[in-house]
Chain A
Amino acid sequence: GAVVSQHPSWVICKSGTSVKIECRSLDFQATTMFWYRQFPKQSLMLMATSNEGSKATYEQGVEKDKFLINHASLTLSTLTVTSAHPEDSSFYICSARDHSTGRTYEQYFGPGTRLTVT
């Protein structure tokens, strides 16, 4: 149980275009999902907390108009990188909490999406 998927696993796009990344909880409902960014050989950097049915909460320094988050259902959150630039190239990872287990401190991570902006 507690499987999280991400799509696509990798994407290459041209500078100035927008890219949407999907995060799905496959076997549980996730009222809260998290989006992280990870640079090579570094730890995870929390970008935002995605809440089903409400606006996302962004971490300090993360541009909400550039990284659009939509959590339209209990199993799907999307991250759209708008007007992407080469500096947005990174490994983006989502995670979700399964509140049905009672262990809401545990997060289950997706496999990540590698974004390359040319």
Chain B
Amino acid sequence: TQLLEQSPQFLSIQEGENLTVYCNSSSVFSSLQWYRQEPGEGPVLLVTVVTGGEVKKLKRLTFQFGDARKDSSLHITAAQPGDTGLYLCAGAGTGGFKTIFGAGTRLFVKA
């Protein structure tokens, strides 16, 4: 069974600080997505990474896919209160159809 372990589960930081969220697995994924979800809403796709070692940037967010395609990280620079939310990583297995979700990281950025 493929599992995605996400850490930390909860993070409370001050505005302006940097943070990194990790998503790890012992399995290889053909692609990995990062989503952000606000309370009472559905998750919104932030980025998809498909190539080992790939790095993508979305304004202050930097996403990296591990060389072996077993792990990924999300780094936020100079966090803002608007970044508050639940961040979910999700992986599509090689040859598989089902998407596996991590447990999520709940981020709270204090002004």
Contact = CB atoms under 8 A, between A and B. Distances in A.
Do the two chains belong together in a single complex?
Answer: yes
Interface of A: 4, 6, 34, 41-44, 46, 49, 91, 93, 95, 103, 105-112, 114
A4 B44 CA distance: 11
Nearest to A2: B45
Interface in B90-111: 90, 92, 97-99, 101-104, 106
B39 to A, nearest CB: 9
A107 B104 contact: no
Contact of A43 (B31, B48, B88): B88
Looking at chain B's contact residues, is the secondary structure mostly helix, strand, loop, or mixed? strand
Interface size, B (range): 20 to 34
Given A105-B30, A105-B33, A106-B33, A43 B102 contact: yes
B30 A44 contact: no
Interface of B: 30-31, 33, 35, 40-45, 48, 50, 88, 90, 92, 97-99, 101-104, 106
Contacts of A111: 41-42
